[in-house]
């Protein structure tokens, strides 16, 4: 079987979640750059892969897929390697809950506003929109507090082994902590701090570390 192909830029949080899953499973793959900062995701070639013009898109031996949650579950189910989803109903539900928090509530304020305005806009020569950042902080704080409140003393988010919950949170958390607002948001989240100390050591995290510059 051919190696899977992942379409998107390495700096995208959703692309990184899939790369983390592939790395944790030990699956070789090809990353095909689609640079969203130069609007490559809106070109017909990419819209044919993803009708909503987002990244990532994914292909494995003719099987085409988009939507990160679907892709990471496929990667876990279709390849050998350690299971990335808890076996028990409660663990699996907790994993889905955390991924939902990221998708429904955290991505827009943390990545869409704080990280884009604080890290990406200045790199492109623009000035950060301070009002947009300030406006995003309360929802970002609610997300951090909610996830902190769901963590136990286990090493990972849903138990003693890494799961898709961790892999979907890592990309967002990693950018967030690199902003001054993120440092403040995380100041009273000791469980998330311990969690990052554990996951941040993993080879998959080092291998997928994004570079914006
Ligand atoms: N629901 C999609 C969301 C993917 C998404 O928002 N990707 C961002 C990059 S991290 C993107 O494509 N942004 C480009 C845009 O919105 O124009 C998924 O889960 O895959």
Q: How far is the CA of 63 from the centre of ligand 1 (A)?
A: 20
Domain co-membership, 129 together with 153: yes
Does residue 12's CB lie within 6 angstroms of at least one atom of ligand 1?
yes
* Cα–Cα distance measured from residue 83 to residue 77, given in angstroms and rounded to the nearest whole number: 8
Q: What is the pLDDT of residue 212?
A: 83
Domain assignment present for residue 212? The answer is no
Q: What is the pLDDT of residue 1?
A: 79
* Residue whose CA lies nearest to ligand 1 atom number 6: 54
Q: What is the pLDDT of residue 132?
A: 98
Q: How far is the CA of 155 from the centre of ligand 1 (A)?
A: 29
Q: What is the pLDDT of residue 88?
A: 97
Domain co-membership, 119 together with 27: no
* Residue whose CA lies nearest to ligand 1 atom number 11: 54
What value does the mean pLDDT take over residues 70-87?
98
Does residue 168's CB lie within 6 angstroms of at least one atom of ligand 1?
no
Please write the tens of the pLDDT for every residue from 45-74: 999 999 999 999 999 999 999 999 999 999
Please write the tens of the pLDDT for every residue from 119-154: 999 999 999 999 999 999 999 999 999 999 999 999
Q: Does the reported pTM lie above 0.85?
A: yes
- Mutation choice for ligand 1 from 8, 11, 55, CB with most ligand atoms inside 8 A: 55
Residue after which a domain boundary falls, among 78, 106, 140: 78
Q: How far is the CA of 90 from the centre of ligand 1 (A)?
A: 28
The rounded percent of the chain whose pLDDT value lies above 90 is: 98
Domain assignment present for residue 104? The answer is yes
Does residue 7's CB lie within 6 angstroms of at least one atom of ligand 1?
no
Residue after which a domain boundary falls, among 23, 48, 78: 78
Domain co-membership, 72 together with 145: no
Domain co-membership, 95 together with 67: no
Residue after which a domain boundary falls, among 52, 78, 104: 78
Domain that holds residue 53: 5-78
3-state secondary structure 145-157: HHHHHHCCCCCEC
Domain co-membership, 13 together with 96: no
Domain assignment present for residue 213? The answer is no
Domain assignment present for residue 64? The answer is yes
What value does the mean pLDDT take over residues 155-176?
98
CATH number at residue 69: 3.40.30.10
Does residue 179's CB lie within 6 angstroms of at least one atom of ligand 1?
no
Domain co-membership, 158 together with 55: no
Domain co-membership, 134 together with 176: yes
* Cα–Cα distance measured from residue 106 to residue 179, given in angstroms and rounded to the nearest whole number: 15
Contact status, residue 109 vs residue 172, Cβ threshold 8 Å: no
* Residue whose CA lies nearest to ligand 1 atom number 12: 54
Domain co-membership, 98 together with 197: yes
Q: What is the pLDDT of residue 98?
A: 98
Please write the tens of the pLDDT for every residue from 168-201: 999 999 999 999 999 999 999 999 999 999 999 9
- Mean pLDDT across the chain: 97
* Cα–Cα distance measured from residue 44 to residue 62, given in angstroms and rounded to the nearest whole number: 19
What value does the mean pLDDT take over residues 32-52?
97
Domain co-membership, 56 together with 100: no
- Give residue 14's pLDDT band: very low, low, confident or very high (50, 70, 90): very high
Domain co-membership, 107 together with 201: yes
Domain assignment present for residue 11? The answer is yes
Domain co-membership, 148 together with 191: yes
Domain co-membership, 58 together with 103: no
User: For residue 97, with 0-12 CB atoms within 10 Å meaning exposed, 13-18 middle and 19 or more buried, which class applies?
Assistant: middle
Domain assignment present for residue 43? The answer is yes
Domain assignment present for residue 84? The answer is no
In sequence order, what DSSP letters do the residues of 157-178 get, joined into one string? TTBSS--HHHHHHHHHHHHHHT
Does residue 72's CB lie within 6 angstroms of at least one atom of ligand 1?
no
Q: What is the pLDDT of residue 79?
A: 98
CATH number at residue 174: 1.20.1050.10
- Mutation choice for ligand 1 from 7, 8, 14, 113, CB with most ligand atoms inside 8 A: 14
Domain assignment present for residue 50? The answer is yes
Domain count, the chain: 2
């Amino acid at each position: 079987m051919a190696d899977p192909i992942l379409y998107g830029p390495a700096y995208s949080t959703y692309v990184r979640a899939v790369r983390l899953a592939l790395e944790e499973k030990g699956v070789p793959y090809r990353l095909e750059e689609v640079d969203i900062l130069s609007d490559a995701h809106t070109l017909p070639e990419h819209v044919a892969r993803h009708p909503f013009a987002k990244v990532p898109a994914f292909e494995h031996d003719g099987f085409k897929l988009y939507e990160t949650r679907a892709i990471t579950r496929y990667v876990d189910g279709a390849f050998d390697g350690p299971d990335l989803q808890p076996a028990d109903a409660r663990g699996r539900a907790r994993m889905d809950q955390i991924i939902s928090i990221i998708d429904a509530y955290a991505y827009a304020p943390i990545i869409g506003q704080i990280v884009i305005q604080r890290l990406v806009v200045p790199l492109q020569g623009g000035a950060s929109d301070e009002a947009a950042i300030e406006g995003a902080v309360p929802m970002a704080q609610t997300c951090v507090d909610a996830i902190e409140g769901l963590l136990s003393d286990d090493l990972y988010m849903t138990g003693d082994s890494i799961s898709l919950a961790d892999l979907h949170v890592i990309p967002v958390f990693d950018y967030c902590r690199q902003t001054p607002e993120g440092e403040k948001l995380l100041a009273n989240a000791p469980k998330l701090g311990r969690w990052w100390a554990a996951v941040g050591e993993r080879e998959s995290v080092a291998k997928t570390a994004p570079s914006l510059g």
